[in-house]
Structure 1
Amino acid sequence: MSAKPPYVVQPTVPATSPDRSATLIFLHGYGDDAEGIPLGLAQQFQFYNKAQYLKWVLPNAPRNQEAMTQAWYIPKALPNAMKPRVPGEADEADAADDEEGILKSVAVLDDLVEQEIKSGTPPERILVGGFSQGCAISLVWGLTGRLRNKVGGVMCLSGYLPLRDRIEALRKENPVEDAVTAKKWFYVHGTTDMLIPTKLFVQGNEELMKWVDRDDIDGHLYPGLGHSTGAAELRDMLAFFNRVIPE
């Protein structure tokens, strides 16, 4: 089944000039849609008159028949400290990632970035990001996507990096010209996230630093934050906007 068109939240205050326009393409998580957490984030920023020049493009994942819900790819079970391992039983966390589904979603992001560039938004003022499963897609896209070196930054909330063992090969399969300036990364997580353990966030950061300069990663671990968003996270998101795509 094809996905619904992206939900687009237009700026509340026009950019001072065309070259100051900016767009955030932000993907929702597993079982959610564009009108869930992504729209909620956009509305919070606009309600408090923050980043009013920013256009939000919020894509919808297609309904996955196997998962019976909206999904960017078929997730595998993740290691969870609350769930003890049973001796002799296979660990689902060791199963292969859904590479086909992940790469299809990476291609969706490339198409959306391309559309924004064609519409006149300066590439360096485009951000790509997501929450949970949307974060996972954004991380893979930021390292392997066709247009990964065009954008200004990648924003990754409460997610992990899948296809870790495939990143190097995928980068070689999709070579791109070096960027004029290195894009910036915002990768954050909550310490009490019961769906995606903190150790996967730490592991994702370690993997990311194989390809990205540590100084280009704005990372935060929020005490007491679960698999959700919070005030401190929004504050840091705004600081990232102001630094990477200033008004």
Structure 2
Amino acid sequence: MSDKPPYVVTPTAPASSPDRAATLIFLHGYGDDAEGLPLGLAQQFQFAKKMEHLKWVLPTASHNHEAMTRAWYVPKALPNVMKPHVGDEDEDAPDDEAGIMKSVDIVDQLVEQEIKSGTPPERILVGGFSQGCAVSLVWGLTGRLRNKIGGMVCLSGYFPLRDRIGPLRKERLPQGSRRDADELPVKGGKKWFYVHGTMDTLVPTKLYTQGKEELAKWVDQGDIEEHLYAGMGHATGASELRDLLGFFEKVVPP
């Protein structure tokens, strides 16, 4: 998985009963690690005494020798080591499918561990920021355990492998499953929180819009909560955290 085990932020208040336990598995962005933005996000909620029953599982990507930093996969372009830009000039370049799907498998392992530890599957959330968001979007549509969990948290990312989602879903179906049963949007499935900032210069808003359109091919529109925050760059913001809290309270309430 990684040379570092996931950083686990334990709940500050226990769940009222075992069936009310909840976990968020959250992936960091390119060049970051679990103790960067993900830990800061968890601490903001805990300092505000919000979602005190929520366990945060924050994995760290392995060091990628080609990218020369920690990365879930090699992005399409590397204008400098710390700030990969995803823009129009890169759209025709192939995505690192092997790297992305290896990371998808890591998420499946983490979800499986949480289920085995006793967390109800429907009270598990998966998400990420930036490149972690990109992996999460693909996992949410192709992951082995994707249909068991309660929701997705996708912040400031883009949708890689857009043309490969259908084939990957078929390739990864369990043996004996109907090959055509996984093609249409599932109504009443897990909930999605997919948001972006208008001033994001690393992942242009155009790619967020494309991601929403792609997601709507596979997910019922009523299960997607989307927000575009005016003035927010490649970061988190107060309005976003307020809406994220509302999403948490809806999907994994105390």
TM-score range, shorter chain: over 0.9
- Structure 1 position 181, deviation (Å): 4.5
- Stretches of 4+ moved more than 2 A in 1? 77-81, 175-181
- 1:1-247 aligned at under 5 Å gives the runs 2-77=2-77, 78=85, 80=87, 91-175=89-173, 181-247=188-254
Shift, 1:10, TM fit:
0.1
Q: Report the Cα offset of residue 2 of structure 1.
A: 3.7
1:170-194 deviation line (CA, Å, top 9, x unaligned):
1111226888951000000000000
Structure-1-length-normalised TM-score: 0.93
SS in 1 for 2:126: strand
- Tell me the distance in 2 between the aligned counterparts of 1:157 and 1:21: 23
Q: Normalization by structure 2: what TM-score?
A: 0.90
Q: Distance in 1 between matches of 2:47 and 2:119?
A: 24
Summarize deviations over 1:2-32 as a string: whole Å, max 9, x none: 4310000000000000000000000000000
The SS at the match of 1:148 is coil
> RMSD of the alignment, in Å?
1.6
Structure 1 unaligned segments of length 5 or more: list them.
82-90
Q: Secondary structure at the match of 2:140?
A: helix
Report the alpha carbon displacement of residue 244 of structure 1 after superposing the two structures with TM: 0.5
What CA distance in whole angstroms lies between the structure 2 residues aligned with 1:223 and 1:69? 30
In structure 2, how many angstroms separate the alpha carbons of the residues matched to 1:80 and 1:172? Answer: 29
Q: Could you say if the C-alpha distance between residues 119 and 143 of structure 1 is closer, same or farther in structure 2, counting changes exceeding 3 Å?
A: same
Which whole-Å CA distance do the structure 1 matches of 2:32 and 2:2 have between them? 16
SS class of match (2:73): coil
**Over residues 106-128 of structure 1, what are the superposed CA-to-partner deviations in whole Å (9 max), with x where a residue is unaligned?**
00000000000000000000000
Any idea what SS the aligned residue of 1:95 has? coil
- Whole-Å Cα distance in 2 between the matches of residues 153 and 189 of structure 1? 17
Pair 1:172–1:238, CA change in 2 (3 A)? same
Letter in 2 for 1:35: E
What is the one-letter code of the residue matched to 2:46? Q
Q: Distance in 1 between matches of 2:217 and 2:142?
A: 13
Match of 1:19, SS? helix
Q: Distance in 1 between matches of 2:55 and 2:90?
A: 39
| Paired-residue identity, % | 72
CA distance in 1 between counterparts of 2:24 and 2:197 reads 22
CA distance in 1, matches of 2:137, 2:3: 21
Give the 3-state SS of the residue equivalent to 2:218 in structure 1: coil
Give 5+ residue unaligned stretches, structure 2.
78-84
2: distance between equivalents of 1:37 and 1:136? 16
C-alpha distance in 2 between matches for 1:158 and 1:79 = 12
Answer yes or no: is the 8 Å Cα contact 2:125–2:152 preserved in 1: yes
Distance (Å, rounded) in 2 between the aligned partners of 1:64 and 1:171 = 26
Q: Aligned to 1:210, what secondary structure does the other structure show?
A: helix
Residues 22 and 46 of structure 1: CA distance in aligned 2, closer, same or farther (over 3 Å):
same
